[in-house]
Amino acid sequence: MASDISSNLNGISFKAITPKGKVIIKLPMLGDYNVYNALASIGIGLHNNCSLSQIKKGLESTTVPGRFESVNCGQDFAVIVDYAHTPDALENLLQAANRIKKNRTICVFGCGGDRDQSKRPMMGEIASKLADHSIITSDNPRTEDPDQILADITSGIADTTRYQLIPDRRIAIRCAIELAQTGDLIVIAGKGHEDYQVIGQEKLPFDDRQVAREFLRGCLKTLS
């Protein structure tokens, strides 16, 4: 079992209580579900005669690109990139973000084209309830009309004052960074580790992390 669970921008820590003793684990990722995943891994490790120190080292060195990945260029607000692209994943992501934010949560997200349309209004509703402000943009629109995808998402949002529509993902990320205030937490969701965007039949280079870094460095240079 786990106790003393706490989170910050660097990840989540907890005390694991096992038949072999207690150990403090610091995971470089967020989300309560990762604690449960870690407990399962501890159980498997102990079953295979691994020591608690070996298990601790393995868990604490495990990173997953694009999963609550921080983009830090020295700014006074946080930027997180995550692969969450389903209603459940977006809800878990924003709940985790809200536990560690110091000010507002700004969510940049969209939904993929040529995929399940029923999840779009659900994700819009989740973002409107859990984020202080949402910027709804394109994910991988593929062969669908990006504006129609955005319309499907916003059909689930009752409060029209809590979001804005920016179909161009690059501009959406820039807007979020320009809006950010001290202590805010920007969540860029949907693509995570992907280094491309599918528009029509084309697979174009695009990496949320690189785009965020570019605009962060530009903003900091302007302020200096």
pLDDT of residue 217: 93
Give the CATH number of the domain where residue 75 resides.
3.90.190.20
Judgement on whether residues 54 and 74 belong to the same structural domain of the protein: no
Judgement on whether residues 162 and 200 belong to the same structural domain of the protein: yes
**What's the DSSP call for residue 102?**
S
What are the helix (H) ranges across 49-143? Answer: 52-60, 87-100, 119-130
**Going along the chain, which residue ranges are E strands?**
2-8, 11-18, 21-27, 69-70, 78-82, 105-109, 133-136, 163-165, 185-189, 196-199, 202-205
Helix, strand, or coil (residue 117)? coil
Q: What is the mean pLDDT of residues 158-186?
A: 97
Q: What is the mean pLDDT of the chain?
A: 95
In sequence order, what are the beta bridge partners of 78? 185
Judgement on whether residues 85 and 120 belong to the same structural domain of the protein: yes
Judgement on whether residues 56 and 81 belong to the same structural domain of the protein: no
Q: Which of 26-35, 101-110, 152-161, 187-196 has the lowest mean pLDDT?
A: 26-35
Judgement on whether residues 37 and 93 belong to the same structural domain of the protein: no
Cα-to-chain-centroid distance, residue 164:
19
Judgement on whether residues 216 and 106 belong to the same structural domain of the protein: yes
- CA dist 133 and 5 (Å) reads 28
Judgement on whether residues 131 and 214 belong to the same structural domain of the protein: yes
* Structural domain total, the chain: 2
- CA dist 92 and 71 (Å) reads 20
- Domain housing 45: 2-60
Task: Give yes or no for residue 224 having a pLDDT over 80.
Answer: no
Task: Give yes or no for residue 223 having a pLDDT over 70.
Answer: no
Judgement on whether residues 80 and 162 belong to the same structural domain of the protein: yes
Encode pLDDT of 39-56 as tens digits.
999 999 999 999 999 999
Task: Give yes or no for residue 128 having a pLDDT over 60.
Answer: yes
Judgement on whether residues 40 and 147 belong to the same structural domain of the protein: no
HSE, CB side, 13 Å, CA atoms: give it for residue 69: 24
pLDDT of residue 221: 65
Judgement on whether residues 40 and 117 belong to the same structural domain of the protein: no
- CA dist 47 and 41 (Å) reads 10
Task: Give yes or no for residue 85 having a pLDDT over 60.
Answer: yes
- CA dist 141 and 30 (Å) reads 28
Burial of 93 (0-12, 13-18, 19+ CB in 10 A): buried
- Of 34, 60, 86, which residue is a domain's last? 60
Helix, strand, or coil (residue 86)? coil
Q: What is the mean pLDDT of residues 111-127?
A: 98
Integer angstrom CA distances of residue 156 from 108, 160, 191 = 16, 10, 21
Encode pLDDT of 138-164 as tens digits.
999 999 999 999 999 999 999 999 999
Judgement on whether residues 38 and 94 belong to the same structural domain of the protein: no
Q: What is the mean pLDDT of residues 110-117?
A: 98
CA-based nearest residue to 136, from 170, 174, 167, 98: 167
Task: Give yes or no for residue 24 having a pLDDT over 80.
Answer: yes
pLDDT of residue 30: 82
- CA dist 5 and 75 (Å) reads 27
Judgement on whether residues 48 and 125 belong to the same structural domain of the protein: no
- CA dist 34 and 194 (Å) reads 21
